[in-house]
Structure formats: structure tokens, C-alpha cells
Amino acid sequence: MLSKALLISNVNACLMRELTTDLKMNSHNVLQNAQLALVDIINEFYPKIYKSDGETITSGGLLQLPHGLGVTPRTWQLYIKCTSAEQGYAIGDEVGVYSNNSTESTPIYNTIYVDSTNVNIRFSNNANCYVTGNKTTGAKAVLTNSKWDLYVEAEA
């Protein structure tokens, strides 16, 4: 898929070629109006996307991330990235995470909710907020908060 900027540039070049000498006095206004209409049309087809920086995972903490999308995101996803090797994971490895991250008798709930301003994450009050499988063995692996950063992506 072409990037939005490249698509606008290509269509803009086509519009320039199509202007005729019959539009002498108004050609600039016609082109400018066509460009504005084009940007509106393209924005309808390309989603607005928010991507966070790496965020600190704090047991019991509330993370509020202003997404700047202007509307409530339609979709969002969270993942953690390893910053210090553990449980078979190397620095830079990424693991998708969800609200309920455990099936133990005392589940670990990390609550995610969004609105037109923020993506909000209320971390579990457990000492460690995420449980997954060991990368090598698949055995239960309780992850140390300080060895991972949380990333959020949202789309409107």
C-alpha cells in the first residue's frame, strides 16, 4: 500500500497535468480546492494510528496515555518488550498481553479501557503483572515487571 504522503503526491501530480489553459485565472483555486478534497478523501481510507513509547509496568499503578486521535480508538493492542533477559526471552523479544493474564486461582487482571482522549491501563496489584510461558520450555513463567516495558498501539 502506498503511504499517505506518496499517494497525495502522485494524485497531486495528476491534478497538475490535468489543468488546462482554459482555467487561466482560476487554475490555482481549482487546484487548491481539489487538493483539499483529496486530503479529506484519503484521510477517510487511512486510519489514524497511535504508538506509545516503552512504558514502565507498575503493580497497582494507573497508566494514562494521551493518544491524540480525537475519537475513541476502534482497536488497540498491548505488548511487552523484554529489557533484561529472563524466562528464556532475550532483550528485544516481544510478547502480546491481554487483560486477564493468568488462569490461576488468583487471576492477574490488568484492566484496559479507552476513551476519546486516553488509553488507560490499571495494572494488577499482584507483585508481577504478567504471566506467560517460558520461551524455551513452555512452563509457566511469571515475568518481572522491571524486566519488561509495555507498548500500546491504537487505531481510529
Whether residues 22 and 70 share a domain: the answer is no
Q: How many domains is the chain built from? A: 2
Whether residues 79 and 37 share a domain: the answer is no
Q: What is the pLDDT of residue 102?
A: 66
Provide the β-strand partners of residue 60.
none
Q: What is the pLDDT of residues 89-118, one digit of tens each?
A: 999 999 999 877 666 677 888 999 999 999
Looking at residue 21, what DSSP letter applies? Answer: G
Categorize the per-residue pLDDT at 35 as very low, low, confident or very high, splitting at 50, 70 and 90.
Answer: confident
Whether residues 54 and 34 share a domain: the answer is no
Categorize the per-residue pLDDT at 27 as very low, low, confident or very high, splitting at 50, 70 and 90.
Answer: low
Average pLDDT taken over every residue of the chain: 85
Whether residues 58 and 36 share a domain: the answer is no
Whole-model pTM over 0.85: no
Whether residues 13 and 70 share a domain: the answer is no
Whether residues 130 and 80 share a domain: the answer is yes
Contact between 82 and 92 (Cβ < 8 Å): yes
Q: Rounded to whole angstroms, how far apart are CA atoms 137 and 123?
A: 27
Whether residues 105 and 123 share a domain: the answer is yes
Whether residues 30 and 54 share a domain: the answer is no
Whether residues 27 and 72 share a domain: the answer is no
Whether residues 36 and 89 share a domain: the answer is no
What is the domain range of residue 37? 4-45
The residue ranking higher by pLDDT, 3 or 123, is 123
Handedness of CA 11, 68, 152, 83 (dihedral sign): positive
> Looking at residue 115, which CATH number applies to its domain?
2.60.40.10
Query: 124-139 burial, b for 16+ CB within 10 Å, e for fewer?
Result: bebebbbbbeebeeee
Categorize the per-residue pLDDT at 123 as very low, low, confident or very high, splitting at 50, 70 and 90.
Answer: very high
